[in-house]
């Protein structure tokens, strides 16, 4: 899936360190360049030169100004909720498990799909989720099924993450 030269362990440790710092930090008290995106969450401008459109650490949503749309903010707020429910597990599983990374992102991309963003096609959400931005987490078909699975009341047959436990209910068997 990912090229052998991609430094996934290094990336995983960097993300985990940021997650631990965010989990131990108090909520933003306002002020500075942050604006409240939803009660308890702060939206920050991400410089255009950063090689990511956006990311979330704890209660802090970072998006390029050009990406600050309702569906992008909604996508990042899903990650804020996921992290709040289980911060250390979110970051550990995101950094070390392609299946969990797919699960976390598919749930967030479902927000964008509900807003009308296409899931299929060369420029659809599944193409982006299955590409280098997410370290080739899944095939395009697996990404498509994972996103569409969160659009259905119950997971679709063949949903690549349907057998993962729901966040917040993970027992030792999930780890």
pLDDT of residue 141 exceeding 90, the answer is yes
Q: Mean pLDDT, to the nearest integer, of 89-114?
A: 95
Q: Is residue 173 part of a domain?
A: no
Q: Is residue 155 part of a domain?
A: yes
Average pLDDT, the chain: 77
Q: Which helix (H) or strand (E) holds 38?
A: strand 35-38
103 and 91 within one domain: no
Q: Tell me the pairing of strands 35-38 and 41-45.
A: antiparallel
> Cα separations (Å) of 35 from 108, 143, 144?
21, 32, 33
71 and 16 within one domain: yes
89 and 126 within one domain: no
Q: Is residue 64 part of a domain?
A: yes
Among candidate residues 76, 96, 116, the one where a domain is terminated:
96
72 and 47 within one domain: yes
114 and 41 within one domain: no
Report whether 174 contacts 165 (CB < 8 A).
yes
Q: Is residue 66 part of a domain?
A: yes
The percentage of residues in the chain with a pLDDT greater than 90, rounded to a whole number, is: 59
pLDDT of residue 170 exceeding 90, the answer is no
Q: Is residue 29 part of a domain?
A: no
Report whether 167 contacts 86 (CB < 8 A).
yes
At 160, list the tokens.
């690549």
Task: State the pLDDT at residue 41.
Answer: 80
pLDDT of residue 13 exceeding 50, the answer is no
Tally of structural domains, the chain: 2
DSSP label of 83: H
Among candidate residues 66, 96, 126, the one where a domain is terminated:
96
- Gyration radius of the chain over CA positions: 16
Q: Is residue 4 part of a domain?
A: no
Q: In terms of residue numbers, what domain contains 44?
A: 10-21+34-96
Query: DSSP letters along 98-132, please?
Result: HHHHHHHHHHHHHHHHHTT--SSSTTSHHHHHTSG
Q: Is residue 171 part of a domain?
A: no
């Amino acid at each position: 899936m990912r090229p052998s030269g991609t430094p996934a362990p290094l990336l995983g440790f960097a993300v985990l360190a940021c997650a631990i710092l965010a989990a131990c930090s108090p909520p933003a008290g306002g002020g500075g360049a942050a604006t409240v995106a939803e009660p308890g969450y702060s939206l920050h401008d991400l410089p255009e030169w950063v090689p990511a459109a956006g990311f979330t650490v704890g209660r802090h949503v970072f998006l390029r100004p050009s990406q600050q749309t309702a569906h992008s903010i909604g996508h990042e707020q899903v990650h804020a909720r996921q992290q709040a429910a289980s911060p250390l597990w979110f970051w550990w599983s995101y950094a070390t498990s392609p299946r969990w990374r797919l699960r976390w992102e598919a749930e967030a991309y479902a927000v964008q799909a509900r807003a009308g963003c296409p899931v299929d096609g060369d420029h659809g959400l599944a193409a982006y989720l299955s590409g280098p931005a997410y370290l080739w987490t899944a095939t395009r078909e697996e990404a498509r099924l994972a996103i569409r699975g969160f659009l259905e009341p119950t997971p679709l047959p063949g949903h690549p993450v349907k057998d993962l436990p729901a966040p917040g209910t993970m027992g030792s068997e999930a780890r």
